[in-house]
Amino acid sequence: MSVDRSKAARHRPTIHDVAAAAGVSRGTVSRALNGGRNVSPAALEAVLKAVRATGYVANPAARSLVTQRAHSVAFVLTEPQQRLFEDPNFSILLQGCTQELAELDVPVLLMTASTEVERKRTSRFIAAGHVDGVLLVSSHTGNPLIDDLHDSGIPVVACGKPIGFENRVAYAAADDRSGARLMVEHLRSRGRRRIATITGPPDTPGGVERLAGYRDVLGVDATPELIAHGDYSRVGGETAMASLLERAPDLDAVFVASDLMAAGALNVLHDSGRRVPEDVAVGGFDDSSIATSTRPTLTTVRQPFQRITREMVRLLMEQIQGEPPAASILPTELVVRAST
C-alpha cells in the first residue's frame, strides 16, 4: 500500500488547526505553547485539549527562534559519575525530575561536574544558551560552579540549601535538621545514652543540617569522640564506624546521615561482634531502597523525594517564566524498622 506523502504533509496539524479547535486566536495558541503568559486558565485548558485532539506537534527549531529559548533543562550532578549508580538518591532525583519535565514536554540533559575540567565544560555549555535552566544536585561549599551559574543569570534550582547562596539561588530541600532531631529523639526514647553520629561531608547542606539536629537533641552529650565525618558512600560509612568504635567503644547507638553509609556501618558493627539493635542501635537517613535490604532492616528518616523533585521543577519553570528565586523546605518522617 503506497502513501501519498505530500497529502500526509498537507494534513499535518498546524497552529491554525489548534486555534480553530480551541476557539481562540493563533496568538493565544502561540502564547499558551510558549510559556502561557497572558493566557487565561480557561483558554490554556482549551488549547491543551485542542493540541491533544489534533495531534499538533510544535517545531522545536522554529519555536526556539521565536522564543529565544532552548526548551531543555540541565540536570547537573557535582559528584563523580559513578556516584549516580552507587547512591540511589541521585538516580531517584534524576528520574523524578525527568518525569516531571516530561509532563511539560521539556527534555533533560544529564551533566556531571565533579572535576575542574568538567566544571569548566559544563559552565561553558550552559552559558552558551544550550539550556533554559539548571537543576543542581549535591552542591559543595566552595565549588565555583554555583558562582558561575549565578553570575551567568541562568535560572538555577538546587537540591538542598545552597550554602552561602540561600538568599540568591532557589532551592528545594527536606528539613534535614528536623529529621535528624526526630531520629536522635527516637534513639533516646529507646534508652540509648551514648549516641554517636556519622555525618555527611561538612561542606554540604545535609552534612551541616543533620549534624546540627543531632546536637540540638544531645547538647553537651554530643562530644567530639562521638562524631565522625563521612562522605555519603558505603566505604565512608565503614571507615567512620571503625573510627567511632576505636574512640568510643562503649557507644550504644549511632545516627548515620545516609542509608548508604549506614549499610557500611552495619558491616563494621557485625564484623566487630556487636549485635544490632541489642548492643548498638543504628538509624539512617533517606529511606532509600537500601533501608529495606540491610540486615536488620534500617530505621531511617524518609525524605519526600517525589515532592522534592516536583518542587525543584516548579521553582525552575517559574524562574524561566521570569519569577524571582524561591525556596521550598519539606517535612521528613521517621520510619521505624528492626535496627533500633
Domain boundaries, the chain: 15-58, 73-174+305-330, 176-302
Q: Is 255 in a helix, a strand, or coil?
A: strand
| pLDDT at residue number 1 | 39
Mean of the pLDDT values across residues 28-37? 71
- Name the CATH topology of 15-58: 434 Repressor (Amino-terminal Domain) (1.10.260)
What's the mean per-residue pLDDT of the chain?
90
| Residues above pLDDT 90, as percent of the chain | 69
| pLDDT at residue number 68 | 52
64-68, 136-140, 159-163, 324-328: the lowest-pLDDT one: 64-68
- Distance CA(225)–CA(316), nearest Å, equals 42
Which DSSP letter does residue 254 get? E
Mean of the pLDDT values across residues 188-217? 97
- The residues, ordered by sequence, that sit 6+ positions from 207 with a Cβ below 8 Å of its Cβ are 199, 200, 201, 229, 257
Q: Which helix (H) or strand (E) holds 158?
A: strand 156-159
| pLDDT at residue number 335 | 98
42-46, 201-205, 308-312: the lowest-pLDDT one: 42-46
Mean of the pLDDT values across residues 59-83? 71
| pLDDT, greater one: 196 or 138 | 196
Residue in the structure block whose three cell numbers are 522564543: 67
Mean of the pLDDT values across residues 36-54? 80
Q: Tell whether domain 73-174+305-330 is in CATH 2.40.50.140.
A: no
Judge whether residue 59 has pLDDT over 60. Answer: no
Give the CATH number of domain 176-302; options: 3.40.50.300, 3.30.300.130, 3.40.50.2300, 3.40.50.1000. Answer: 3.40.50.2300
Q: Is 131 in a helix, a strand, or coil?
A: coil
| pLDDT at residue number 228 | 98
In the structure, what pLDDT confidence band is assigned to residue 8 with cuts at 50, 70 and 90? very low
Q: What is the DSSP secondary-structure string of 182-228?
A: HHHHHHHHTT--SEEEEE--TTSHHHHHHHHHHHHHHGGG--GGGEE
In terms of Cα–Cα distance, which of 85, 76, 212 is closest to 140?
76
| Strand boundaries in 227-313, DSSP class E | 227-229, 253-256, 281-283, 300-302
In the structure, what pLDDT confidence band is assigned to residue 7 with cuts at 50, 70 and 90? very low
As given in the structure block, the three cell numbers for residue 316 are 525552575
In the structure, what pLDDT confidence band is assigned to residue 4 with cuts at 50, 70 and 90? very low
- The residues, ordered by sequence, that sit 6+ positions from 105 with a Cβ below 8 Å of its Cβ are none
Bridge partners (DSSP) of residue 254 are: 196, 282
pTM for this entry: 0.79
Q: Say whether 176-302 and 73-174+305-330 share the same fold.
A: yes
27-31, 241-245, 272-276: the lowest-pLDDT one: 27-31
- Distance CA(22)–CA(168), nearest Å, equals 40
Judge whether residue 184 has pLDDT over 70. Answer: yes
Mean of the pLDDT values across residues 217-237? 97
